[in-house]
């Protein structure tokens, strides 16, 4: 499959870094340990605009002209995009939030925290919050069911949980991960991802493989693997069409599967073998942006077959 991996760019200071595209695909947006959000017009942008959101920025999400960040002052903040004007605090925790995400229409934000809690907040009215309690260690990641009925979360307590959002109850819990006492000590960030559209599958990185669980039955229905994956997968991300799943691993391997056939259709190696800690697909399906634990930003582009599949699916 013809594609190209561009040389990586320095974006942030050493440490955890995250990346996403805006809704149009015009901008690449990153955050990192320097407390800045950077807005790149392209990977070649030598002067990206930046917004300082705190001493450190742990996570970001972007939807409908709203930028949400988890920063070191234990808050989840919202800014306008791309102007970067502060637009209030969505929620607070007793310690830092570790991951934030929007639902599919941008009306809600979910945040997981090192104080073991998950919160779901209405963007239009931050007083409308639901708190999901049950994890016994810091939360690694959160992801919404595209239909907005469920939320899945992974935790350092070793569990992956599916929650009923309205009832604030656990639907099912799987003991899938190695236990740790803090996100920084976890073998994997276990960044879950729910298939877009109908949300048929929840993708969960487990060691060197990805488990697919079926929405509703919650059965483990498939496993994606590759012989070259020898270190834990940190993060997974679905293509916009929902047919392909990309994974980034400790050790820097980028892998893409066709979920229908379970075949690995693309492999790319980080140029220096650093850990990939964030992945994002361009809205067209033709590019994947990724960041590493050294604060650098990379891009795989000309993913022609993915773009064709997206258009024809």
Residue 304 has phi, psi (to 5 degrees) of -60, -45
Q: SS3 for the chain, per residue? A: CCCEEEEEEECCCCECCEEEECCCCCCEEEECCCCEEEEECCCCCCCCEEEECCCCEEEEEEECCEEEEEECCCEEEEEECCCCCEEEEEEECCCCEEEEEECCCCCEEEEEECCCCEEEEECCEEEEEEEECCCCCCEEEEEECCCCCEEEEEECCCEEEEEECCCCEEEEEEECCCCCCCHHHCCCCCECEECCCCCCEEEEEECCEEEEEECCCCCEEEEECCCCCCCCEEEEEECCCCCEEEEEECCCEEEEEECCCCEEEEEEECCCCCCEEEEEECCCCCCEEEEECECEEEEEECCHHHHHHHHHC
Rounded to an integer, the average pLDDT of 169-182 is 97
Instruction: State the pLDDT confidence band at 313, using cuts at 50, 70 and 90.
Output: very low
Instruction: State the pLDDT confidence band at 6, using cuts at 50, 70 and 90.
Output: confident
Topology (CATH) of 4-312: Methylamine Dehydrogenase; Chain H (2.130.10)
Rounded to an integer, the average pLDDT of 268-281 is 93
Rounded to an integer, the average pLDDT of 75-79 is 97
More confident residue, 199 or 3: 199
Rounded to an integer, the average pLDDT of 289-311 is 76
> What tens digit of pLDDT does each residue of 209-246 get?
999 999 999 999 999 999 999 999 999 999 999 999 99
Contact in structure between 71 and 113 (CB atoms under 8 Å): no
pLDDT at 2: 58
pLDDT at 311: 41
Rounded to an integer, the average pLDDT of 235-258 is 96
Highest mean pLDDT among 102-116, 268-282, 297-311: 102-116
Q: How far apart are the first and last CA of the chain?
A: 18
Instruction: State the pLDDT confidence band at 271, using cuts at 50, 70 and 90.
Output: confident
């Amino acid at each position: 499959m013809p594609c190209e991996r561009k040389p990586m760019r320095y974006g942030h200071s050493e440490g955890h870094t995250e990346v996403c595209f805006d809704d149009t695909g015009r901008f690449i947006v990153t955050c990192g340990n320097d407390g800045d959000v950077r807005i790149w017009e392209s990977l070649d942008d030598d002067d990206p605009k930046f917004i300082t959101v705190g001493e450190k920025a742990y996570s970001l999400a972007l939807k409908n002209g709203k930028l949400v960040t988890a920063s070191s002052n234990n808050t989840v903040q919202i800014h306008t995009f791309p102007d970067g004007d502060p637009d209030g605090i969505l929620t607070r925790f007793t310690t830092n939030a570790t991951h934030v995400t929007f639902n599919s229409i941008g009306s809600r934000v979910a945040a997981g925290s090192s104080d073991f809690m998950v919160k779901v907040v209405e963007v239009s009215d931050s007083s409308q919050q639901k708190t999901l309690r049950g994890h016994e260690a810091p939360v690694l990641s959160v992801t919404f069911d595209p239909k907005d009925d469920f939320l899945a979360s992974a935790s350092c307590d070793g569990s992956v949980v599916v929650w009923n959002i309205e009832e604030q109850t656990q639907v099912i819990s799987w003991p899938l991960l190695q236990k740790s006492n803090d996100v920084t000590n976890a073998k994997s960030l276990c960044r879950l991802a729910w298939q877009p559209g109908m949300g048929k599958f929840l993708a969960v990185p487990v060691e060197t493989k990805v488990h697919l669980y079926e929405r509703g039955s919650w059965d483990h229905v498939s496993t994606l693997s590759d012989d070259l994956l020898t270190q834990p997968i940190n993060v997974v991300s679905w293509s916009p069409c929902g047919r392909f799943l990309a994974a980034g691993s400790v050790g820097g391997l980028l892998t893409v599967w066709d979920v229908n056939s379970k075949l690995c259709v693309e492999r790319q190696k980080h140029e220096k073998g650093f850990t990939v800690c964030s992945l994002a697909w361009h809205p067209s399906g033709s590019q994947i942006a990724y960041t590493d634990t050294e604060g650098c930003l990379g891009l795989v582009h000309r993913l022609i077959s993915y773009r064709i599949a997206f258009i024809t699916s």
